[in-house]
Structure 1
Amino acid sequence: MLLSESPRLVVKKVLAKCLQESPGVIIRGFTGRELECDPFVMLIHFSVTPPGGFPDHPHRGFEALTYVLQGAIRYEDFGEHKGTLRTGDVQWMRAGRGMVHSEMPAEEGTHTGLQLWINLPSQHKMIEPGCQEVVSKEIPRVERDGAEITVLAGEALGVKAPVHSKTPVMLVDVTLKPNSQVHLRTPELGWNYLVYVIEGEAVVGSGSAETITAEEAAVLGGGDGVSVWNKSEKKPVRMVVLGGEAVKEKVAQRGPFVMNTESEIEEAMDDYRMFKNGFQMASSWKSNPMNNA
């Protein structure tokens, strides 16, 4: 793979905070304030063991991509959309004006994955909600020079992912064999990029490159590409490379709601409590804990 002329350098490293959210649920993640990488609002690396999970809860104002690393997660929402995401599957959820859903383990054992929250610009925050799933076998993959790349969203190395988002993003899952490297072109102006290491140690950048270890995120500066090396003689590296077009708007977030102002957050909370303005179906809906469809 050819090295980009101006590789993006690491401008900030952040170690994931680990939180035992509830029995059986461990969250490692980053908030948008910690990352400062518009349009990304949150990046969550989750581990769920029954009876833990994410029971019925609301959202508004953003999109979320869920990627199952291991296991099976059962999904169900108040729009009668349901299914099971298994290892390697991806789901786009557009909360828009209102979404209530549940995400629970579909079977025994430990289930892990990533969930990325992506901001919506103000003109799209109140659009109709929706979901799109793509099973693992339908997601494009590329193998080059010791690098295995899965294109989960957007476009990389000449291939496009079969998912579509209102806010343009790129997300690729990269595994580097020992003594291998990957160079991804990132020519888009107005986009921001980061790398999150799932396993191993990655060397990111060129010249003044930085070593990024497991459960660390590296926010990147300007340039025309992302260059990553695995300099280990024995161990592979697994990471995700994320890019997104900056929304460039003020962000107000409280729990599951992502809006532009605190008054809009208060309005979202009131709408959910009163079952109105997008949350009408929540008044009579509950997920079925026995549904493993």
Structure 2
Amino acid sequence: MRLLLVSSILIVLLAIFYSDSLHSFPVHEGMNAAYRYFATLSKKNMSSPRQIQKVFLAIEQSEGAGARIRRSIGGAQMREFSPFLMLDHFKSTSLAGFPDHPHRGQETITYVINGSIDHEDFAGNKGTVRTGGLQFMTAGRGVMHSEMPRPNPDGSPNIGLQLWVDLPKHLKTCEPRYRDLQAEEIPNIDIDEGKVHVKIISGESHGVESVKELAYTPVWLLDVEIKPGGKITQKVPAGWNAFAYVLDGEVGFGSGEGKKLVKQYHNVIFKQEGDVVEAEVEASATENGRFVLIAGTPLDQKVVKYGPFVMNTEEEIDQAMRDFRSYSNGFERARGWESEIGRGAF
């Protein structure tokens, strides 16, 4: 602060000096220069709230072997939102899930909100993601796997989110990889006197960073729960695409005249301008509001999709289908493979 004050005085003195010596720079111009200087500094240090571009309901539909999903990104309302290809909010019983199926050209992040999800692939990888944990998968050149829920002792459904993230063109044929992250490994923070709880799955919130990067394409994923009367101003990287999906309750997004109250199962697409997202739950609310805030760097590339294959050209999609059917170029281990967890699902 002292340095800024000294700088201000120097600017004014220089303005006066040049005014006296050159008679071409009046004192008031020096004052204006100082004002413009500090106005520029203030703008650099001030946060700019993102405005809302679109709000829409994610309609429930069937998917997989009897699972019920709400598709926000990847549906009719928003076909894609680079780098995001799809976001499904799924609910399934003990027998309904996502048995053996292939992928190529994308990454998936599966976040379990309630219950447990088993996964198994054609390379022999197996694991279970429990409540609050997630599984990260890079499909790359090719994966065939199964994702099936476990029966919950209390009979409750298995609930979660699956996010598809596009891979940059040069990584479409990279080697597949997996990473599981259980709930206890995910950093969290309480703010606004305990009225706001944030799980930092990927990215950063109020000085707390995630422990692992989840995707080749940079992505932030935050799970935010707000009690009545709570508010959060969350930083998001400038130039990234960002959206929020409301899991529970009602949440107010935006600021000023652009503020909107968004209900459960609705998706909020934010404009790209700005570097913070503002959210709050009204003090009069009867329940907490919970949402996921997701942001990622947009990819300057064409997206061509066919089922579980995501490439950049029609020719690459045709090649992916030929490779899968002929068990080649990444799908060699799919020949004769059947997962244990997916048997009898259909």
**TM-score for both structures, normalised by structure 2:** 0.80
Partner of 2:295: 243
Partner of 2:210: 161
Match of 1:49 among 87, 93, 104: 93
Matched pairs, number: 287
Please say if residues 134 and 162 of structure 1, whose CA atoms lie closer than 8 Å, have aligned partners that are also in contact.
no
Higher mean displacement: 51-60 or 157-166: 157-166
Partner of 1:182: 232
Matched letter for residue 131 of structure 2: T
Match of 1:76 among 113, 120, 123: 120
Partner of 2:174: 127
Corresponding position: 1:259 with 2:306: no
Partner of 1:227: 278
Please say if residues 66 and 116 of structure 1, whose CA atoms lie closer than 8 Å, have aligned partners that are also in contact.
yes
SS in 1 for 2:212: coil
Partner of 2:54: 12
Matched letter for residue 37 of structure 1: F
Distance 1:253 1:232, change over 3 A: farther
Matched letter for residue 243 of structure 1: A
Alpha-carbon distance, 1:21 to partner: 2.4
Residues 152-210 of structure 1: CA distance to partner in whole angstroms, max 9, x if unpaired?
11222222222321000000000000111111112x23311001000111111111111
Match of 2:160 among 103, 109, 113: 113
SS in 2 for 1:284: coil
Segments of structure 2 that go 5 or more residues without pairing to the other structure are: 1-45
Corresponding position: 1:289 with 2:330: no
Partner of 1:215: 265
Q: Distance in 2 between matches of 1:204 and 1:242?
A: 14
Please say if residues 73 and 81 of structure 2, whose CA atoms lie closer than 8 Å, have aligned partners that are also in contact.
no
Partner of 1:199: 248
Matched letter for residue 143 of structure 1: D
Q: Name the one with the larger strand percent.
A: 1
Residues 99-139 of structure 1: CA distance to partner in whole angstroms, max 9, x if unpaired?
11100012243100001100111001100001000110010
Q: Distance in 2 between matches of 1:125 and 1:106?
A: 32
Match of 2:67 among 5, 15, 25: 25
Please say if residues 92 and 163 of structure 1, whose CA atoms lie closer than 8 Å, have aligned partners that are also in contact.
no
Higher relative contact order (CA 8 A, sep 6+): 1
Which protein is bigger by CA-based radius of gyration?
A: 2
Higher mean displacement: 21-30 or 52-61: 21-30
Please say if residues 96 and 148 of structure 2, whose CA atoms lie closer than 8 Å, have aligned partners that are also in contact.
yes
Q: Distance in 2 between matches of 1:86 and 1:111?
A: 10
Higher mean displacement: 92-101 or 14-23: 14-23
Distance 1:290 1:40, change over 3 A: closer
Alpha-carbon distance, 1:224 to partner: 1.4
State the identity %.
Answer: 41
Please say if residues 53 and 270 of structure 2, whose CA atoms lie closer than 8 Å, have aligned partners that are also in contact.
yes
Residues 205-253 of structure 1: CA distance to partner in whole angstroms, max 9, x if unpaired?
1111112111111110110101001015221001000000011211111
Alpha-carbon distance, 1:55 to partner: 0.4
Alpha-carbon distance, 1:22 to partner: 5.3
Alignment RMSD (CA, Å): 1.6
Please say if residues 7 and 206 of structure 1, whose CA atoms lie closer than 8 Å, have aligned partners that are also in contact.
yes
Alpha-carbon distance, 1:31 to partner: 3.7
Corresponding position: 1:276 with 2:325: no
Alpha-carbon distance, 1:37 to partner: 2.1
**TM-score for both structures, normalised by structure 1:** 0.94
Q: Distance in 2 between matches of 1:56 and 1:121?
A: 25
Q: Distance in 2 between matches of 1:155 and 1:279?
A: 36
Q: Distance in 2 between matches of 1:57 and 1:178?
A: 42
SS in 2 for 1:20: strand
Q: Name the one with the larger helix percent.
A: 2
